[in-house]
Structure 1
Amino acid sequence: LFWCAYARNKRSLGLDLEDAADRRVLLRLVSGADFLIESECPGRMAELGLGYEHLSQVQPGLVYVSITPFGQQGPKAQWAATDLTLVAAGGFAYLSGDADGPPLRVRVPQAHAQAGADAAVGALIAHAERRRSGRGQHVDVSMQESVTLATMFRILDEPVGMAPAERVAGGLQAGGVLVPLRHRVRDGWVTLGPSILPSTGHFMKRLLEWVAEEGFCDPALAQEDWGSFGLRLGARRLPEDAYEPVARSLDTFFASKSQAELMSAAV
């Protein structure tokens, strides 16, 4: 099921890269390709004559993307890894779990998904440059680095003078404040990722406008600068109870809705 979801609407062709005839088929495909994405152990594709240096001669505009546990170079480049070891090495597990318990791995694999998203962005940036210069590039993606980026740099809070990041359950820590993620609805529970950062503040504004329209909060609450709210909380530039009016309003609002009603509104 996992593979079916990720491979939906994709065409496939099975090739044995150990076989010379199949490698020739791949070379023909590469000659007209925009992108090649591989996840072999660093150096293996070059051994087969399929590394970036070789394929860029076949197709100078090729965007060649390598996704590996620890990148193409460095002391761990040849190390094998699983999702568990990568979320630990990237710091993600440190932030997952209860405050009084050990670090935990998120149930759905994260490292490959995060690296895949970063690889897609890197590939598109390289493609934009190719449109300008006609030249392809080798995009090197380290899953460990992708996992670290996915922590939203929380593991760096303390070194830059913010409150140390801690594991919390059912919420998000911002400074000394626990921002709830779970809310009870009429027929169960829902999870809401609070949109209190620069790229997502407009979502919180729209949500609170809806909450205010239904009489569950003061309309002025929606006019808060939600794009900077999380940063100000984390830097302790807001009182620790600053989010409490929002949490109370959301609790009462969600309690009046069913999961289906909220899903319908969300999509």
Structure 2
Amino acid sequence: MEPTSSSGADERQGSGSVGVQVAAAALQRSEVFHVVKELLGFVLYMHHQIPSVLQSLETEFAGLKEEMSEMTAPSAEMKPSDQRKYNTRKREVRCRIKKQEKLMKGISTVLSAFQQALDKVSTIEGVALILGGSLVRPLFVYDITVTHGRFGSGSAKGHGTTKLAQSVSRKAVRALISCGAGSLSYTGPTKLFLLIRCPCTMNLPLDFSPKRDFRYSKKVVPQQMSIKCNTADYRKNNKHVASIVDASCCTSESSPSDVIWYYF
């Protein structure tokens, strides 16, 4: 069930495993979404797939679209020199929007699908971020295990970002940097695949396709990360659901027959 790997002289990515401890009993859907989004942006930036960090890209793109929407036809009273400057700026804004639109739409589509998936499941066991031409022969793999209690009633589309989500995402990015993530890179264009690992009984959006017994090339050693919540406190404070948690395969120890990878 788990992606397989082995060491060798031709490995494309350094091996390693890092852990991030969460000072809470569980992460909400919106918090898991924020952490994965930050890691996704970091991975794309470190491997030269986006020109700047994701947050800066989003801010810039939103600003360009707002500026374009506010632009009106130049006034007849405007001086010819000012009209030329205005028209030049409008062309620049239009070209920059056109240049970034495909990239931003692609990232937005992946993140929106991930939000929908989080809202469909009671828990997830992990997320994998894969860069490469195909799933079976990737260039880089980031395998993120999430250990937490069951999700509450909140949505992944919840407004605002909690301090906990910000803290965990910062720790996660620093942990990847400390173990050399991004030191090996690939300057050409490539594809991003986002996979989630959850019980096979979950009804995920049609955007996600099942990949049972998922494997990729043994030449690639994944960068592994474990995000661990204090599940002992969660079970202690929620004894009435402890048996349900155990029965629904929500920990990383679930058997391969109970879980399945879904990819977008």
Report the TM-score, using the length of structure 1 for normalisation: 0.23
Report the TM-score, using the length of structure 2 for normalisation: 0.24
> Which structure dedicates a bigger proportion of its chain to strand?
2
Q: Which of the pair has the greater relative contact order for Cα pairs under 8 Å at 6+ separation?
A: 2
> Which structure dedicates a bigger proportion of its chain to helix?
1
Tell which structure's C-alpha radius of gyration is larger: 1
